[in-house]
Chain A
Amino acid sequence: MIDHITLDHGSGGRQTHELIRNLFVKKFGMPEPLTDSAILRSQGRSYVFTTDAYVVDPLFFPGGDIGKLAVCGTVNDLAVSGAKPEYIACSFIIEEGFPAEHLVKIVDSMAEEALKAGVRIVAGDTKVVGKGKCDKIFITTSGTGILERGREHISTGTRIKPGDKLIINGPPGNHSIAVLGARNNLSFTTPVISDCASLNHLISGVLDRCNEVHFMRDLTRGGLAGVLNELAEMTGKGITIDEASVPVDEPVKGVCEMLGFDPLYLANEGRMLIVAGNDSESEILSVLKSDPLGRESAVIGEITDAKRYSVVLKTAGGGTRILDMPSGVQLPRIC
C-alpha cells in the first residue's frame, strides 16, 4: 500500500487507475467495467449518474472558466454514455475572502452553460473554509440523464469489432495549453482557446441519425492516449493510430515541442472519441462536421484484431511504436 497520496494519483493516468481499482472499487464493491457514468436501471428504464470535482487553476482562462467547466464536464460524462443529460446538482467549497464578484461571474457562466446544454441545475450546497484551507474555489457537480433503450453498449464498448474506425471531433490539447498559458502568462501569436464545451447536442445529432456508434468517451485527463489504452484494455483488442491524421493546432504543437509535452496525452474538455462500426464513419463524420464543435473531426485510426491489447502509433514519418498509457502528471489542475 502507498504511504502518501502524490500528485500522480490525480493525474488520470496509471496511478489514478490503480488507486481507484485498489481502494474505491474494492471497498465500495463497484461493478466493472469502469465507465464515466454509472448506468442505473429502475422500472424498465435506464438512467445514468455521474459526478466530477473541478479545481482548475487559474479560475478564468481563454474560452471558459471553472463554472462553465463544471457544467460541461458533467454534461459530457453523461452524453458520451449515450444518455440525454437532464439534471445537475452542484456544491461549492469557497475560501474565506474570495471576491463575491468572481463568484457571480462563475455562477453566471454555469447558468449560461446549463441553458445552452438544456440541463437544469436543481440542487446544491455551499461551504466556506478559512483562508488558506482551499485554493479560492472548488466546485463539484453531479448529474443524471435518461439512457434510451439500445444505447447501453456505448459506454462499455461491447459491440466493438476489428475494422471499426476511430473518430475524434477536433484537435486535442487546446484546453490544457490554454490553461497553461493563462497560468504562466504565456503569450501566443495565435491565441489558444480552450475547447471546453457541452457536446450533448452534437452527440444526439450523431446518435439520432446513426445506429453504428460502438463507443464514445470524452478525452479528459489522460488525453487521447489514456482513453485509447483504457479502450484497448476493456475490449482486449488492438488499436492502430495514424499520427499524421490526428489534427493538432500549430500553437499547441509549438508549446508541446518546446516544453516536451505530447498533445496525445493532454487533457481536453470538449473533445471525444467515437468508435464507428460497419463502414459508418463517413456518415458520422458528415454529421459531426456540420456542427461547429465537430468541424475539424477526423478519422484517426482503427480497431485491429491484434491478439493482445496494445495501442500502436504509426508515426508521421512512417515508423511504428506503442502509444503507452499516460503515467504521472503532465500538467496538474487542468480541470
Chain B
Amino acid sequence: MKYIDEYRDKALIMNLVSRISTAANREYKFMEVCGGHTAAIHRFGIPSLLPDYISLISGPGCPVCVTGTDFIDKAVAYSGLEDVIITTFGDLARVPGSSSTLQKQRASGSDIRIVFSSLEALDAARSNPGKKVIFLGIGFETTAPGTAVTVKQAAEEHIDNFFVLSAHKIMPPAMETIAGEGTKLDGFICPGHVAAITGSSMFSFLPEKHNLGCVVAGFEPTDLLHAILMLIEQVNRGEPEVRIQYTRAVTPEGNLVARNNISEVFTLTDAYWRGFGTIPASGLTPGNAYEMFNAENAIPVSIQYHAENRMCICAEILRGLNDPADCPLFAEICSPENPVGACMVSSEGTCNAWYKYKRGR
C-alpha cells in the first residue's frame, strides 16, 4: 500500500539495523513516551532486530494508563445517574475502577456509548436534549484539540447539555519529571503526533537542562530504527539536541491553530498521573469562558478514595524503572481480559503490548 509499504521495506530495515550495529559502541537506553510508539515497536518486532545492548523502555505515553482510578470511579458514578449518557473512546470501557468498569455498568443498564470522535458525543447531546451527555476527554496534545473544537462548537450552538470530564494532559511536564528524578537514560524517542501539534521545539529543555538527546519519530519500522540510529549518533558525538526524524508530519513550531484552540478552551491545572503522583500544571480542564462545560463543576459527584492494588507495579513501569515481566501479576493474574492495572487495558499500554507480542519470549 502506498505511503505504508515504503516505510516497511525489508531491505531498508535491514540496512538501518546494520548501520545501528556499526554505530553502537556501548550500552544505550532510550525511552519512548508515546503509546503509539510502544505498540508499533512490539507489533513490528523491533526489539528482536536490535543488538542486546540497545534497550528501549516505555514511559508514560499511554493516556489511559496514566489516568488515576478516581477518574474511572467518577465516570462510573456519573453513569449511575438517571439522566446521564456517558460517551467515551472504547479503550476506557474496560479500565478497572475501584469497584466497577464502564463495560460492566453498560451491561447492567447504564447508557454508555462508545464514540470515535468527540463530535459524535456532541451529536448525542443534540439528539438527546432531555439528557446530560458527558464526554470522557482523554489524551495528550493529540486529542485535546479535538475536544477543544467540540466544546467551542457546543458553545456556539448554545448546547447546554454537553459536558467534558477531562483527563487531558500535556506531555512535557512528565518528561521533565522523568529527566529530573534521574532515571538512567541516554535519550528520548519523542512522540510524533504530540509534536505535530506542539512543535518539536517543545522538547528543547531536555537537551538544554538535562543533557538528553531527543528525536521526534514516526510510527513505521523504518521511522523507529532511523530515530534510534539518530539518537545513537547524538550520544556518540556527545551533543544532545532536538532533531526531527518524522519530517513528513512535524515542524519545530507545530500546528498553531490546534495550539490556539487548546489554550483558548483549557486552563492548565495540576493533574494526577498514575505512577508519578500530582504533576503541577500538567492537566487540561475546560476553563475561562468554557467553564460551564466542565462536568466536575456542573454535575458534582462524590467518590470514595480507594487504594490501588499493591502488587501492581504499573507505577514503576510507567516511570521506566521496571519491565512488565518484573510484575508478579503479569500474565498470571493480570491479563487483557482481567486487567488489574491500566497498562494492561489500553492497546497503547506497555503491559498490553508485552502480553500481546512478547509474552513468554
Contacts and interface: CB of A to CB of B under 8 A. Distances in A.
Interface string A291-320: 000000000000000001010010111111
Interface stretch (B227-235, B305-313, B353-361): B353-361
Contact of A319 (B4, B49, B107, B337): B49
A52 B147 CA distance: 43
Contact of A322 (B9, B103, B104, B358): B358
A319 B104 contact: no
Interface in B313-354: 335-337, 347
A322 B48 contact: no
A14 B361 contact: no
B357 A14 contact: no
A250 B355 CA distance: 29
Chain B, interface SS category: helix
A135 interface: no
Chain A, interface residues (CB within 8 Å), range: 20 to 34
Interface stretch (B37-45, B196-204, B261-269): B37-45
Contacts of A5: 107
B10 A317 contact: yes
Interface string A59-82: 000000000000000000000000
Contacts of B335: 327
A8 B337 contact: yes
Nearest to B9: A317
Contact of A327 (B48, B49, B337): B337
B107 A6 contact: yes
Most buried by B among A5, A257, A315, A324: A315
A253 B10 CA distance: 18
B143 to A, nearest CB: 14
Nearest to B3: A257
Given A316-B8, A317-B45, A324 B357 contact: yes
B221 interface: yes
A315 B359 CA distance: 16
A254 B2 CA distance: 9
Interface residues of B, number: 33
Nearest to A18: B337
Nearest to A257: B4
Given A253-B1, A254-B1, A322 B337 contact: no
Contacts of A14: 337
A254 B5 CA distance: 11
A315 B45 contact: yes
Given A15-B337, A253-B1, A327-B337, A320 B356 contact: no
A316 B337 contact: no
B10 to A, nearest CB: 5
B217 interface: no
Interface string B3-35: 010001110011001000000000000000000
A4 interface: yes
Interface string A1-19: 0011110100000110010
Interface in A154-180: none
Most buried by B among A244, A250, A313, A321: A321
Interface string A210-253: 00000000000000000000000000000000001000001001
A322 B48 CA distance: 11
Contacts of B155: none
A328 interface: yes
A322 B361 contact: yes
A6 B103 contact: yes
Nearest to A250: B1
Given A6-B104, A15-B337, A322-B356, 5 more contacts: A3-B108, A318-B14, A319-B49, A321-B45, A324-B356
Give me the 7 closest cross-chain CB pairs, A-B, nearest first. Answer: A319-B45, A4-B107, A321-B357, A321-B45, A317-B13, A319-B48, A317-B221
Interface of A: 3-6, 8, 14-15, 18, 244, 250, 253-254, 257, 260, 308, 310, 313, 315-322, 324, 327-328
21 contacts: A3-B108, A6-B103, A253-B4, A254-B1, A315-B44, A315-B45, A317-B8, A317-B9, A317-B13, A317-B44, A318-B10, A318-B14, A318-B45, A319-B45, A319-B46, A321-B44, A321-B357, A322-B356, A322-B360, A328-B336, A328-B337
